[in-house]
Structure 1
Amino acid sequence: MPISFTPIKAANSLADQVAQALEASIRQGQMQPGDRLPTELLLVAQFGVSRTVVREALSRLKSSGLVASRQGSGVFVQAPRAEPLDLEKGHAASQEAVIQIVEVRRALEAEVAELAAARRSTADLRRIRAGVKALAKAVADGKDGVAEDVALHRVIAQASGNPFLLSTLDYLSQVLAGATRITRANEARRQDFATAVTQEHARIVEAIEAGDPAAARAAATAHMNNAIDRIRQADPAFWRQDGERLAKVLLGGSR
């Protein structure tokens, strides 16, 4: 099904907005590596901007390695070339390594939640609520909920209104999703853990809905702190059976 875009509204940089919309479409999987982007004329019509703006936006995506021109064929999506994190090959997969990644999330998620509570729109709240429902359905259907968990945190990041924070989370997406896979695998083994995660998400969302930045920051920080505690409390059997294997994948080791 062809990708379509909505017109861009005037702002400081139209090219930035077009580039960000295209990049989001690529990173969210709506356009896959090898897919051809719509023609310049179609992008001009869909975004409601000039051809110069579209060309500048495409130039930025080419510089970042997300797209490449093929003579006479058009512009095509490329696989992102940047590695999320350059972790040392000798760094053993460990409980502590996963905790350190969650600590990175804690710094980002607390800021994101605070800004989202201050800036969220009605549309943002609608997307966040949909994200909560999608995660609950995934869990009810017996899925691990990793993709839905990551998606929920991403729509909260969108509500922050800070494209650089969102880009940072996207850049770290592989590592953050890997850490989420480990924490959720651990949490799925204990009903009290799973219940706590649901409640923590609810507190974050409630604070954002209430427009309470301080409460949102506190709730997001507590969620990450509790995730660390749950990893530390993981049954040794979990780490032997699942945790260490998943951590090795996360850290670039053997699968």
Structure 2
Amino acid sequence: MSGSSPFPAIAPGARLSERVADTLSAEIRSGRLRPGDKLPTEPELAEQFSVSRTVVREAVSRLKSIGLVESRQGSGVYVLEASIPPLSFDASYAVSKEAVIQMVEVRRALEAEVAGLAAQRRTAADVQAIRDAIATLDQAVQAGGDGVREDVAFHRAIAEAAKNPFLLSTLQYLSRFLHGATRVTRANEARRGDFARQVRDEHEAILAAIEDQDSAAARAAAFNHMNNAIRRIEEADPAFWRQEGAVLARALMVDRAPDAPR
């Protein structure tokens, strides 16, 4: 992307068209692109994101499919008025342990079904993408990173394998809040070696069930993963919530992420 681009850099992971669509979607949902605003032309977007026009075309098509933009004959592509109010939470509540747990409960409901569908519909390429995402997460953690983006990419790969654009869009819509909860859970898990090993084993169990095309086992593995995430939050020592946990939980109100969460 050129240095003069008005858009933030697209994040690694997933297909280019999805990353461009997610970045534009975030600009629209944040209000930086307002209803009635005209998007830059296809060649301009291609230059600003350093991608092909085909990638831009696919990204814009995705935005149209979820009702964020429309094409006007001979005029261009325009941002639509939001049909529903934006999701928001009381700031004082969102920084609490209870709020983080309830965000994980939302993830539990969604991600169990996503994993089950992925087991039914996955291709060999999908399985490899999920396996690669686990390897990338391992590398990030071994290099001293927090693994949040890589964890998000792992769950995004599962969502892609489910082949349901509505579920994918729902996860994308909730990503701002779910990403903040992921930062909290990963920071907590990094404090204890047994927690980190449990998470790795749970990811492998989800992958194995999807690879075996065992939908019931995949749902159970994903549900168990989220249940264990809640347990690990509940078992976090009080010092974590007085210090790092409270700071990271504040991201529930201010963080944005391009992908669906862990």
Say if 1:94 and 1:244, in contact at 8 Å, map to a contact too. yes
* Matching residue of 1:240: 242
* Matching residue of 1:38: 42
* Matching residue of 1:250: 252
1:125 CA drift (Å): 1.2
Please list, as runs of the form range in 1=range in 2, the aligned pairs for 1:2-151 lying within 5 A after superposition: 24-29=18-23, 36-39=40-43, 46=54, 57=61, 60=64, 63-65=67-69, 85-91=87-93, 93-151=95-153
Greater C-alpha Rg: 1
Flag the 1:151–1:83 CA change in 2: closer, same or farther, 3 A.
farther
1:126 CA drift (Å): 1.8
Inter-partner Cα distance in structure 2 for 1:88 and 1:142: 33
1:58 CA drift (Å): 8.5
Structure 1 letter corresponding to 2:148 = V
Say if 2:25 and 2:63, in contact at 8 Å, map to a contact too. no
Flag the 1:205–1:194 CA change in 2: closer, same or farther, 3 A.
same
Say if 1:84 and 1:171, in contact at 8 Å, map to a contact too. no
Say if 1:84 and 1:172, in contact at 8 Å, map to a contact too. no
Say if 1:138 and 1:144, in contact at 8 Å, map to a contact too. yes
1:31 CA drift (Å): 9.9
Flag the 1:90–1:242 CA change in 2: closer, same or farther, 3 A.
closer
* Matching residue of 1:189: 191
Q: Please list the CA deviations of residues 52-79 of structure 1 after superposition, one character each: whole Å capped at 9, or x if unmatched.
A: xx9x9499379515x899x98x65899x
Q: Could you list the runs of 5+ residues in structure 1 that have no partner in the other structure? A: 3-20
1:88 CA drift (Å): 2.3
Please list, as runs of the form range in 1=range in 2, the aligned pairs for 1:189-228 lying within 5 A after superposition: 189-228=191-230
CA RMSD of aligned residues (A): 3.8
Tell me the SS of whatever aligns to 1:91. Answer: helix
Inter-partner Cα distance in structure 1 for 2:196 and 2:245: 17
Inter-partner Cα distance in structure 2 for 1:174 and 1:82: 17
Structure 2 letter corresponding to 1:205 = L
TM-score normalised per structure 2: 0.72
Flag the 1:224–1:119 CA change in 2: closer, same or farther, 3 A.
same
Tell me the SS of whatever aligns to 2:171. Answer: helix
Structure 2 letter corresponding to 1:159 = A
Say if 2:100 and 2:249, in contact at 8 Å, map to a contact too. yes
Say if 2:94 and 2:100, in contact at 8 Å, map to a contact too. no
Q: Percent identity?
A: 51
Structure 1 letter corresponding to 2:235 = Q
Q: Please list the CA deviations of residues 26-46 of structure 1 after superposition, one character each: whole Å capped at 9, or x if unmatched.
A: 244499969845259x9xx94
Alignment coverage as a number of residue pairs: 222
Flag the 1:245–1:31 CA change in 2: closer, same or farther, 3 A.
closer
Q: Whose RCO is larger (CA < 8 A, sep 6+)?
A: 2
1:185 CA drift (Å): 0.2
